[in-house]
Structures are given as structure tokens and as C-alpha cells.
Amino acid sequence: MKLVETAKRENAIVVGLVTGRMERRQVEEYLDELVLLADTAGVAVRHTIIQERPRIDAALLIGKGKAEEIGARVEEEKIDTVIFDDDLSPVQVRNLEKFIPCKIIDRSGLILQIFALRAKTKEAMTQVELAQLQYLLPRLTRQWTHLSKQYGGVGTKGPGEQQIETDRRAIRTRISHLKEKLERIKKEREVQRKGRENLPRVAMVGYTNAGKSTLLRLLSSADVLIEDRLFATLDTTVRLVSIGPGKKILLSDTVGFIRKLPSHLIASFRSTLVETAEADILLHVIDVSHPAFHEQIEVVNDTLSELEAEGKPTIFVFNKIDKVTDRSIAAGLAETYRPSVFISARRGINISTLEASLLELLESKTAEQTVLVKQSDYRTIAKLHELAEVLGKEYEDNSVKVRFRVSERNSEQVRRLLTQKKPKTAS
């Protein structure tokens, strides 16, 4: 099955639900973000509707009266899609279709659509397709078409129940094939990582649109896509970056996180996000100008926990400081989030401070040693250059005194190397 894009820009209504456990202000913020997500997917939002209820309606989420009201507006204004901010169960989708005569999707479905639009590499496209099919399988109905992309023949109107069952079988077969393909890609990535495992690895994480790609371009002078939209980039980008004389790191930019990121999407992207799980240090990039940046920090932390990547040495990088009018907030944030730096990646403000903080944290995770190696033992000397940062060499008779700094990641390899050769420890 192949994704086919259409040029038509659809009209949509977005719907949010306020229950007894939430504040209306919070739901309004969620819907503002949902409108941005819709725009990224190429959908024009015509109306925003908020329903207040003491609890969720198990059958329709929003209740029969509000569903009928939305259905009438859809018919009157020829709306193409209704997007719910909350996840809908397959039963709720089927029930809502009885009242709302257009496509009905939820936030998870919309995010999946954006990922499908943005995926460029073989791995990302495979991951997205797998997540889409896992999401679509229990939701196949005769009214399903998938925003501006759809699988040919799957879920289109009119084929009847028998065709839907045929489609379900085809999707299950495709899911199995994609899982096998991802396993092969995973092994390829492991081979690639082994070739660069001796350099310190730093991963940038953060809420989507926090400015990670801008920062990567600034630090690495790399040609990286920068766009003021949610999920501008999906594929993990790794660049060799110099942060000081003779000090190089591998810096990776990962997909941005977001509220209510579908769990099956995280699972599909686990092989890409392994760069985060295996990093020595995390740069948590935060858009400090965003009114809800505190909540965004928590969303990122929760996602890192789900990836089993929490607890790593982390620098909190408060970006877009040039957009903040009240600079006094920096003192309080620096006290709460340690270590932290305040930068503007777009304007290049305080980048040297960030590099110095990163260098300090890297060196705090290293140990300095001095050993005597025979001058004729070229292999050991070359390997030390590969595994550690050689700080100096002094030649004494037939030996060379090598002073080096080694990271925690490579310390065991260096120990085995020196134990095998049994060099003398210099005094």
C-alpha cells in the first residue's frame, strides 16, 4: 500500500471537552495547539467548540445534544473533518458518525497524519506507516478517509462490511511485514552506532517547535530544515560538533515531543529515539517564551521516562530568551533547573555559555590518567588517541609518557587495553 497525497485543503471543526477534573483555560490552550497541528497537516480550522460536562460520555464523549449540534453545522457549512482533542475509542467513532456526516478523527490520528506528511527517510516512513495502521485497524468504518492522505481502497465509502474485513486482513499482513522491516533497520542502525561509539554523545530533546533544529544548525553549521511549525523534522539527525579545542561530540536532534503523543507512535519510533536513550548527556531545549513551558517540560520528562531515558545528566537550555519581556524569571528558573543556560539560537545569544556548560559537564564525567607505553607499541598509543582525549606526551628513553582524559563510556575499554599491555603507571 502506498500513501497518495491530494492537494485539497480541508475545512475542519476542532472539539474539546472540559470535565470536572480540568480547567477551561487548560482545554483552550490544548485546542490552540490542536489548531496549529491541523494547520501543519494542511487543514483549515473554521470553528473551535468546547463542551462542558461533569464526566466523559462513554458512548459519544461529548453527549448526544452536542453531537447533533456539530452535525448540523457540518451539513450547513460543508465541513470535511471534525477533530477531537481527546482520544476516541472505535465505538465512540462509530456512534459519532451517526450524528456527524463527515470524517471524524482525534488528536492521535491528526499527529499520525502529520508524521506521514513529514517522514522523509525509509526508517521514518516505515515507522509512521506501522503506527498509522495500528491506529486505523480498530477504527475502520465505511466513512473513513484519512485526511489528505489515504491508503488506496482502505476505508473508503461504499464497499460494505465484506470489503472492510478484507481490508482488515490486508492491514494485519502489512503490519507484520513492517515490524520485520523495522527489525532489519534496527540492526543496521546498531552497526552504524558501533562505528562512532568512542565519541561522547549528546542528544537534544524538547517539546516540538522549541528550537532544537535551529540550535543544531548553529552548533554544527549543518544544513538542517528549520520551519516555524510543529513537527518540522522527524528523522534523527546526528552531526559531529566541536565545542572546544580538540573536543568533539556527536550531537543528535530527535523528534519533538508533544502532549498526548500516541503510545504506539512512541513504540514505532523507539529505534530512532534510541539515540536519546543511549546518549551520555541530554540537552533539554525549552521555549521559555511559551506561556505553558512548565507543562511542556513535564511532558518531555514523562516521555523520557516512557523511553527509559530519565535520570541522565541534563542541561536545561531555555531558548528564545530574546522573546521574553520579563528577564527576571531567569534567576528563579536557574535555581529550580540545574544546570541551566538561557540562549537565543535564532540570534546566537549565549551560545558560548552553553558550550562551556556542556564541556564542564562532559569533563566532570571523565578521569585523567598518565601511563608509560613503549614507543614501539604504536597500536596502544593509536588506540588511546581513539578512545580518549590525549592531553600530552613526553618521551623518555624507549618509552612515552601519555597523559589522557577518558570518559565513563570508554573507561572499561581503556582499562582492558592497558591491562593487556601492562604499561607502567607514571608517577
Per cent of the chain over pLDDT 90 is 39
Buried b (16+ CB within 10 A) or exposed e, 268-293: bbbbbbbbbeebbbbbbbbbbbbebb
What pLDDT band is residue 187 in, cutting at 50, 70 and 90? confident
What pLDDT band is residue 423 in, cutting at 50, 70 and 90? low
- The three cell numbers of residue 17 are 471537552
What pLDDT band is residue 197 in, cutting at 50, 70 and 90? low
- The three cell numbers of residue 197 are 561509539
CA 341/CA 316 separation, integer angstroms: 6
Write the single-letter amino acid at 38: A
Mean pLDDT over residues 172-194, rounded?
Answer: 83
CA 265/CA 365 separation, integer angstroms: 33
Residue 60 DSSP class: T
Under the phi-then-psi rule, with left for phi > 0, alpha for psi from -120 to 50, and beta for the rest, what region is 70?
alpha
- The closest of 243, 219, 175 to 319, measured between CA atoms, is 219
Residue 224: per-residue pLDDT: 55
What pLDDT band is residue 3 in, cutting at 50, 70 and 90? very low
Residue 65: per-residue pLDDT: 95
Residue 344 DSSP class: B
Which range of 112-116, 249-253, 346-350 scores highest in mean pLDDT? It is 346-350
**Tens digit of each residue's pLDDT (9 = 90 or more) over 107-121:** 988 988 888 887 777
Mean pLDDT over residues 60-69, rounded?
Answer: 95
Residue 146 sits at φ, ψ, to 5 deg, of -100, 75
CA 28/CA 310 separation, integer angstroms: 30
Check if the beta carbon of residue 246 is closer than 8 Å to that of residue 238.
no
Mean pLDDT over residues 273-293, rounded?
Answer: 88
Domains in the chain (CATH in brackets) are 3-160 (3.40.50.11060), 198-363 (3.40.50.300), 366-425 (3.30.70)
Write the single-letter amino acid at 390: V
Question: Is the pLDDT confidence value at 146 over 50?
Answer: no
Question: Is the pLDDT confidence value at 221 over 90?
Answer: no
What pLDDT band is residue 427 in, cutting at 50, 70 and 90? low
Mean pLDDT of the chain: 82
Q: Is the pTM of this model over 0.95?
A: no
Mean pLDDT over residues 209-221, rounded?
Answer: 89
